[in-house]
Chains A and B, each alone.
Chain A
Amino acid sequence: MPAYFAYLVRRFGQFVLVVFIGVNIAFFVTHATPIDPVEQTISATTSFGSTSPEAVALMRQSLRDLYGLQGGLAHQYFAFWLRVAHADFGPSLSAFPTPVSVLIGRALPWTAGLLITATLFSWAAGNLLGGLAGYYRDSRLLRATGFLVMGLHPIPYYILAFVLLIVFGYVWPVLPISGGAQMNLPQRLDLAYIGSVLVHSILPLLSLVLVGIGGWFMGMRSLVSNIVTEDYVAFAELGGVSPRRILLSYVMRNALMPQVTGLAMSLGGIFNGAIITEQVFGYPGLGSLLIDAVHAGDYSLVLGITTVSIIAVASAVLLIDLLYPLVDPRTRIG
């Protein structure tokens, strides 16, 4: 146990270091952007109206004061870390004065709902089918399934999204192609709203799942293909253990460990949002928010989203690393 405790402390130290370095890189990259949020605001404000040059000069000065951009980079750097320490990313510059945390909080449930479901579904289906295909290598049905999912896998998910959009939005218009729920439906936890959310998520979900299954499928199939040649599997077969038990308890269980690691990494990554899926289907979420923020030069919001994402991915990896030694005694922690 002391060894595990030392491992835990060491691993947590690495976590803090990764987050610190990641957030610093995010800070300097966003502040190195050539997009100036003040100029973006001025452009948006004056592009349609008749605003005199003198007024624009005054507006520029007022916006720099308002957005708190007067100090140098060092001043902004320390102010940023001070805010992060209080779990505050400051106001969004492109939706001023609304706090960044409010905007993230509003978008996160949609992204999390869609991507957690898509990731879990792809993971479960991919691993199950991959495990079966690796074990029952002579099954025609499983070979056909493998052919299908591996055929879909290399297709960029946005291409598949457009295909789904055209098939189910235009050729056979049976599914909604826009938004997270029906218009004018009160946002509350009742059957109508939940049903509408589910229906609106079918196409975005399919575009992610159909492409996502392939990776898990191939990984699991090759893992299983290796494991079935192990001595203990041969002994189990010779010992008369049922094929189903061999598959579930001897083969897939052992093959699952690296897949669980991959799952944790994928779940951590959901905080980036599925940018193109959200754009194509007009689905609310962090991806669209991030793109808008980048275009607007809203580095408060970009930093907020990237910081959340960095912490999420690092936490997922940390969690897996901490659980691994408990689940798999072969893991070296010394």
Chain B
Amino acid sequence: MNRRAFLSWGAAGFVTLCSGVAVSLGAVVRFLVPDVFYEPPQVFKIGNPADFPYGPPTFLTDEKIFVFRDRDRGFAVASAVCTHLGCTVAYFQSDHHFHCPCHGSVFGPNGRVLHGPAPRPLNWFEVTMTRDGQLRVDKDKTVPSSYRLMV
């Protein structure tokens, strides 16, 4: 084996070794990214419109959403997850604001940040009517806070 062959085979071997290591490391990282989530679905039915009263919003604990029903304007769904660090906000009937217990963020009735470290307003989710007359919420589709479903 001459010098040229040695160097080119050596270089090729080194590159192969490095790419092998890189691919393996990539595979380890990829292995840690789950392909299946055993989590509640993002799209779900929440029941008949008649189940929800007018006035203060209904809090659905498992879904972490507030369902608003307004006599004139219809349904709207707000996320109860604080945009700061993911704590669950509470709706205070006394001042119509959302209060986060973790770091004191306060959101207005339309979800706008009034006070505290939260960087974004609360999310509002699309709510639609299914064929069987139930309300359906899609957490993957955020809508403006003015969005309403008239039933």
Q: Do A and B bind each other?
A: no
B residues lining the A interface (CB < 8 Å): none
